[in-house]
Structure 1
Amino acid sequence: MRQNSSAIGWKQEDEEWIALAQSNDFRMFFIMPYTPEYLGDVRGMDILDLGCGEGGYSRELAAAGARVYSVDSSSFFIEYAAEKALEECLDIRHFVRNSDDLYGIPEESFDRVLCSMMLMDCEDLQGTLREIMRVLKPGGKLIASVLHPCFYGKEITWSGDDTEKKVTVEDYFHPVLWERALYKDVDKPVIWRHRTLQDYVKAFVACGFSVTDLTEPIPTQNQIKKFPGLGWLQKIPLFLFWELEKKRGGNGEG
């Protein structure tokens, strides 16, 4: 498997990252519930969970009746995900692959590819999108979420409390990558990458995708009751979801 900065950074994460990810309020109370809702009814679908991490989405999708392939560049995450799937008696196929080199995974195999909070981490975005295009069935869809590039980045700062937060953008166009830990209690840094909205959309179009939906999810009052820290997301979005369709006859050679 080819090495790149994205894969190298994530390979150093371990049990500590998994424990923090599974206790992070934004992930557990907002993104984890919202993503399957955005995907809709997946019964009978073939789904690739690309950049699966600890495999939480894969397990939920398999439990909902999908046939799931779970892929990550970290062998540690894949071993953990496979063990958890076995414990829960879920039939999920697991692979250690870079997102831009899905060798051994056949073309036109999936109704959906899920990229939850991972496209912003890819060193080779267009290579990843070409591989997604290759493995999607004609008319299949990519569901991708990222940290909202307008409101999160190296030169973007938040101030205020959970309900009256303000965001200051000092430079939207130029910060490209930087190193920082994923969580404040984790010492191991990973590489963060900033891409503008036009960077993403131009890459999608170049690889043959049609943008069929874009959503900036807003938390419900019930979610805010569980985690008051979500309250400010009713005013300023932190996450961005795309639904992208593989054009029939598309080959990702754009």
Structure 2
Amino acid sequence: MTAGWTGRAAIERWSQIPHDVLDEMEPAGDFDKRHLLNPVLLEMLGDVAGRRILDAGCGHGYSSRMLAARGADVTAVEPAAGLFAYALHKEQELRQGITYVEADLTQTLDFGAPFDAVVCSMVLSAIPDWRSTMRTCVRSAQLGGIIVIAINHPAFEQLRGTWREHGEYRVRRYLDEYEIAGRYAPDFHRPLSAYLNELAAPGCRLREVAEPGLNVAVASKAALAAPGIDGYVHLPNFLVISAESPAIAPGRPSSSDKGGR
């Protein structure tokens, strides 16, 4: 874990985001999510109609609602009480059939049948004990199921601020693990290799990696209200990874181990 932080402390900080701030992100997330992250997530998942999807760390639930609107059977897990309450309120209002579970993804959770796909969007880089959460995601996917993970790009964190100040991106530390202060709650930097190696360890197969860039026309329109946004045209703010869960569950013998039957 990152020194000085516990999972509970981070969860409590995320829980304190005011609901009026969350309202401003409706219905499809903030600017970055709408223009950079959501299109890639939806493309990697493909047609979600009728598929069971776990939204692992759903936050205030916008991505769960986005998937449910496209016909997915969504189970959404969130440990931060304030974010969970907001998501549950929206479900009571919209009645999309989303199952919300207030639980910590670092714990062993039983969802019954495994999921066709697991989405873990902007969660791992926001919590200290990210490895346990990733293991929960892998265990929750059916054999050969899809796991889609989105994080702040470890090589280009705080991109907009440094681009606004210097007209370029600057970074002094990459290989260390450290806290990045945020407006309401922290993020945590780790090198890209940490995430990829942890995903590979149980036998997940990499399908695709995306580093989305911002459309030039969109950046031009937003430039006055969001100085530094043009940095997103040249460098990626997010990293999105799609993988398949192991075809053979850990501990389960393969057909070759049974004499080819």
TM-score normalised by the shorter chain: which range applies? 0.7 to 0.9
1:92-171 pair list within 5 angstroms: 92-106=98-112, 108-152=113-157, 158-160=162-164, 165-171=167-173
The residue number in structure 1 matching 2:258 is: none
Deviates more, 1:205-214 or 1:9-18: 9-18
| Equivalent residue letter for 2:232 | L
Of residues 60, 64, 67, the one that matches 2:66 is: 60
Secondary structure in 2 aligned to 1:159?
Answer: helix
CA-CA distance at 1:125 after TM superposition: 2.0
In structure 1, C-alpha distance between the alignment counterparts of 2:251 and 2:82, rounded to whole Å:
31
Secondary structure in 1 aligned to 2:230?
Answer: helix
| Equivalent residue letter for 1:245 | E
The residue number in structure 2 matching 1:196 is: 191
In structure 2, C-alpha distance between the alignment counterparts of 1:42 and 1:195, rounded to whole Å:
31
Of residues 41, 44, 47, the one that matches 1:41 is: 47
In structure 2, C-alpha distance between the alignment counterparts of 1:129 and 1:68, rounded to whole Å:
19
CA-CA distance at 1:226 after TM superposition: 5.1
Q: 1:78 to 1:140 in 2, by over 3 A?
A: same
In structure 2, C-alpha distance between the alignment counterparts of 1:150 and 1:30, rounded to whole Å:
17
The residue number in structure 1 matching 2:230 is: 231
> For each residue in 1:4-35, what CA deviation from the matched residue of structure 2 results, as whole angstroms up to 9, or x when unmatched?
33323222223144145447322333323443
Structure 2: any 5+ residue segments left out of the alignment? 1-5, 253-261
Secondary structure in 2 aligned to 1:80?
Answer: helix
Q: 1:79 to 1:199 in 2, by over 3 A?
A: same
> For each residue in 1:183-230, what CA deviation from the matched residue of structure 2 results, as whole angstroms up to 9, or x when unmatched?
xxxxx4x23211101111111112332221101012234543653454
CA-CA distance at 1:61 after TM superposition: 0.6
Of residues 84, 88, 113, the one that matches 2:90 is: 84
CA-CA distance at 1:84 after TM superposition: 1.2
In structure 2, C-alpha distance between the alignment counterparts of 1:3 and 1:252, rounded to whole Å:
29
Q: 1:36 to 1:146 in 2, by over 3 A?
A: same
The residue number in structure 2 matching 1:4 is: 8
Q: 1:111 to 1:205 in 2, by over 3 A?
A: same
Secondary structure in 2 aligned to 1:167?
Answer: coil
TM-score w.r.t. the length of structure 2 is: 0.81
- Would you tell me which structure has more strand in proportion to its own residues? 1
CA-CA distance at 1:235 after TM superposition: 1.1
Q: Is the 8 A contact 1:10 1:74 kept in 2?
A: yes
CA-CA distance at 1:92 after TM superposition: 0.5
Q: Is the 8 A contact 1:176 1:194 kept in 2?
A: yes
Of residues 180, 201, 208, the one that matches 2:203 is: 208
Does structure 1 residue 71 correspond to structure 2 residue 73? no
CA-CA distance at 1:44 after TM superposition: 1.2
Q: Is the 8 A contact 1:143 1:242 kept in 2?
A: yes
| Equivalent residue letter for 1:14 | P
In structure 2, C-alpha distance between the alignment counterparts of 1:82 and 1:252, rounded to whole Å:
37
The residue number in structure 2 matching 1:185 is: none
CA-CA distance at 1:85 after TM superposition: 2.1
Deviates more, 1:47-56 or 1:20-29: 20-29
In structure 1, C-alpha distance between the alignment counterparts of 2:222 and 2:44, rounded to whole Å:
21
Question: Cα RMSD (Å) of the superposition?
Answer: 2.8
Structure 1: any 5+ residue segments left out of the alignment? 183-187
Secondary structure in 2 aligned to 1:169?
Answer: coil
| Equivalent residue letter for 1:216 | E
TM-score w.r.t. the length of structure 1 is: 0.83
Q: Percent identity?
A: 26
Secondary structure in 1 aligned to 2:248?
Answer: coil
